[in-house]
Amino acid sequence: MADNESRMEKTVNALKDEYNTIRTGRASASIFDKVRVDYYGTPTPLSQVGTISIPEARMVVVSPFDKSLITEIEKAIQKAELGLNPSNDGKVIRISIPPLTADRRKELVKQAKTTAENYRTTIRNIRRDGNDELKKQQKAGELTEDQLKTETDKLQKLTDKYIEEINKVYEAKEKEIME
């Protein structure tokens, strides 16, 4: 039971991490989490080759630790398909975050909904695996039929709790996107 709960908890955390990379109208350092810069032949996370700061609501500034990497960082941001156009002045890269159009917002909400459904499916798969394990234990004589019923009900309650949590995370993200 504890194993199933920890797997469900990790699933919800993975959803939150994935939602952090979905761009909303506001500047956020987390939208660059998946950006990889070619650092001497090695794909390296952007946060490890420079400082990401947010001086104002719709502006991100990346200050590379090594100034010779400025063009590589700029290329990596363009390749990441975030819909952003970085510009550099030789020292730092400035990225202005354009306001989202209504169509783009709807598209992002649809993407967030699909992602949430995928994570709900993962939670249900964990429940299925748990139920299979409980049935094996009953067949092996480790559980009585009443214990099986009790444990199955507990697993269902756990599943309901985490699916509800995924729904809350999705609703919060939807609200953030539509602002």
pLDDT mean over 22-48: 81
Tell me the one-letter amino acid at 25: G
The Cβ-side half-sphere exposure at 172, using a 13 Å CA radius, reads 10
Locate 154 and state its tokens: 């507990």
The span from the first CA to the last CA of the chain, in angstroms, equals 39
92: Cβ–Cβ under 8 A, 6 or more apart, which residues? 61, 62, 63, 64
* Residue 169: C-alpha distances to residues 14, 100, 118 (Å): 11, 21, 13
Using a pLDDT cut of 70, give the percent of the chain over it: 98
* pLDDT value, residue 25: 67
pLDDT classification of 90: cutoffs 50, 70, 90: confident
Q: Give me the residue spans of the domains in the chain.
A: 1-22+101-178, 29-96
pLDDT classification of 23: cutoffs 50, 70, 90: low
pLDDT classification of 123: cutoffs 50, 70, 90: very high
Locate 142 and state its tokens: 């480790």
Using a pLDDT cut of 90, give the percent of the chain over it: 35
**Domain 1-22+101-178 classification at class level:** mainly alpha
Residue 22 φ then ψ, to 5°: -80, 125
pTM greater than 0.95 (yes/no): no
* pLDDT value, residue 178: 83
Q: Which CATH number fits domain 29-96: 3.30.450.40, 3.40.1360.10, 3.30.1360.40, 3.30.565.10?
A: 3.30.1360.40
Judge whether residue 119 has pLDDT over 80.
Answer: yes
